[in-house]
Structure 1
Amino acid sequence: MMLMTYISSLALAGAALAQTPTGFLPAVNNTLDVYYGTTYITPGLLVKKSSVSKQPTIGLTGQTLTGKYLLAMIDIDAPSGSSRSTVLHALLTDFTPSGATQNGTTVLTTKATGPASYFGPAPPAETPKHPHNYIFLLHKQPDNFAVPTSQKNVVSSRIGINWVSFVKDAGLSEPIAANYLQVQSGDNTRRW
């Protein structure tokens, strides 16, 4: 009986640490701090789509940051016929520590607008309504980073990106932090 309680406790602790939705790979346990204005996004927060139309402020808490970072934002619930696919909402490079903080978060900034500029969540109306998961992934950016030839079409079209394949093809290390939010399809009511 104690063994079952211990295993259940471990499973719950693992679920509580996850900063990506269940089943998404790569799974990440470190939180990427994401702010839309002054609103902090806790992992899985359901928000109003108009509140996330502009690029967020991102950063990390309790870590020494050096070098450059790459940010991806992916909708993993885009309708594609009778199934779901992915849409790349942002792939931005050259994030560096700004020297500023927001509520204890070391803020990262970039002047880059690509390889894929930010566009905010706007899931289409569906019946029944379906909340979309938008995942933010932060990677250490390798020197001389470029979108691999094998990934240029999917980054350009933004449709159907497989992040595990992208990471492998681009020679990226595992994400150092992640977060995600939800926007309900066709719903623009206030959720925070």
Structure 2
Amino acid sequence: MVSLSLLVSLAIVPFVVGQATDTNNTQFQIEAIQAHFSGAGIVPSLLTTFDPEALLTISYDGVSALTPGQALTKTQVAPTPVLAVTPANSTVSLTGSFTLVMADAGPVGTDETQGQTRHWLVNGVTLTGSAPLNVSTTDGVAITSYAGPAPAQGSGAHRYVILLYSQPSSFAAPQGLDTANTPVSVFNLSDYVKTSGLGPLVAANYITVEEGTATFTPSSTAPVATSTLPVPATSTGGSSAASTGSKTGSAAPTSTGNAQQSGAIPKISKTFSVEVLFMAGLATIGFLFN
């Protein structure tokens, strides 16, 4: 009869290994989004720095698993998206209230000091369920309800950034943006964050939407090279995902998706593997001598 200790030891191996793999995969995706934000000029033009502690995923009806900066049509982004957040690792605790913002950062090269069109602003947002956590606006105060992106004809590929900020108890909405059902208008994201006393930026992502063909030559962006991200080699000994080209116009970099499709598998430390084998060995010895 197989001992209970052996069965338990062997049963937890795939579970723990799976958790380590998921954590590494999430961290890689976060680093990929950071690279996209820099490559697309969101950092430092809109955000001075960007050091998220969680992964924000965006899904629209019929369009899910969006890659950072993915190009969508005005029709696709008309309904309110579903958002989810996955902590970078087990040490990240996402509790309390949050503020959700969606701002139009315009085409690459836009002067952000002139402000951004506010498409969504909800205070008192909560995270529910288990990882990935659902971003719930049900009990929040919708200062500006979601308004689907509708860039002007020929104005180029606009970058619509969705951000989730920690909202401390000292938060105070500034005058003019402290009442529900405030229409879509231009505001300055940086000023709003400072004036209201919002906490750190927990997670963010973005999409691009373009109407017609740009009547000007869009500014170029830096390519996002996933090969520079800390992704270990594949199980067959190959290199990590190849770098993607630069994003121009409405074409958005998709290095996150490419990296996942290439078969890159996050690495589990040798120390951990030895510990698991050691535990299983002890259990086996115990079984033999019982």
TM-score (norm 2): 0.50
Q: Is the 8 A contact 1:133 1:180 kept in 2?
A: yes
Q: Residues 15 and 172 from structure 1, CA distance in 2 versus in 1: closer, same or farther, beyond 3 angstroms?
A: closer
Q: Show the counterpart of 2:101.
A: 72
Q: Show the counterpart of 2:123.
A: 93
Q: Show the counterpart of 1:117.
A: 145
**In the alignment, which of 194, 205, 211 is matched to residue 185 of structure 1?**
211
**Cα distance, 1:25 vs. partner?**
1.6
Larger radius of gyration: 2
**Cα distance, 1:141 vs. partner?**
1.7
**Cα distance, 1:150 vs. partner?**
6.4
Q: Show the counterpart of 1:8.
A: none
Residues 102-148 of structure 1, C-alpha deviations (whole Å, 9 max, x = no match)? xxx2212121461111001111212xx50011011101122374421
Residues 21-64 of structure 1, C-alpha deviations (whole Å, 9 max, x = no match)? 24222432433222213512222111122111111111211343
More helix, by proportion:
2
Distance 1:182 1:14 in 2: 14
Q: Residues 14 and 137 from structure 1, CA distance in 2 versus in 1: closer, same or farther, beyond 3 angstroms?
A: closer
Q: Which amino acid aligns with 2:127?
A: P
Q: Residues 131 and 151 from structure 1, CA distance in 2 versus in 1: closer, same or farther, beyond 3 angstroms?
A: same
Distance 1:177 1:135 in 2: 11
Q: Is the 8 A contact 2:36 2:68 kept in 1?
A: no
Cα-Cα RMSD: 3.4
The SS at the match of 1:122 is: coil
Q: Show the counterpart of 2:75.
A: 50
1:106 aligns with 2:133: yes
The SS at the match of 1:168 is: helix
Q: Which amino acid aligns with 1:24?
A: L
Q: Which amino acid aligns with 1:117?
A: S
Mark the runs of 5 or more structure 1 residues left unpaired by the alignment: 1-11
Distance 2:104 2:197 in 1: 22
Distance 1:92 1:159 in 2: 15
**Cα distance, 1:93 vs. partner?**
2.0
The SS at the match of 2:106 is: strand
Q: Is the 8 A contact 1:29 1:178 kept in 2?
A: no
Q: Residues 124 and 143 from structure 1, CA distance in 2 versus in 1: closer, same or farther, beyond 3 angstroms?
A: same
**In the alignment, which of 34, 51, 67 is matched to residue 58 of structure 2?**
34
Percent identity, aligned pairs only, is 29
**In the alignment, which of 169, 175, 192 is matched to residue 166 of structure 1?**
192
The number of residue pairs the alignment matches comes to 168
Q: Show the counterpart of 1:16.
A: 35
Q: Show the counterpart of 2:201.
A: 175
Residues 62-109 of structure 1, C-alpha deviations (whole Å, 9 max, x = no match)? 34321111100001228xxxx9752100001222122166xxx22121
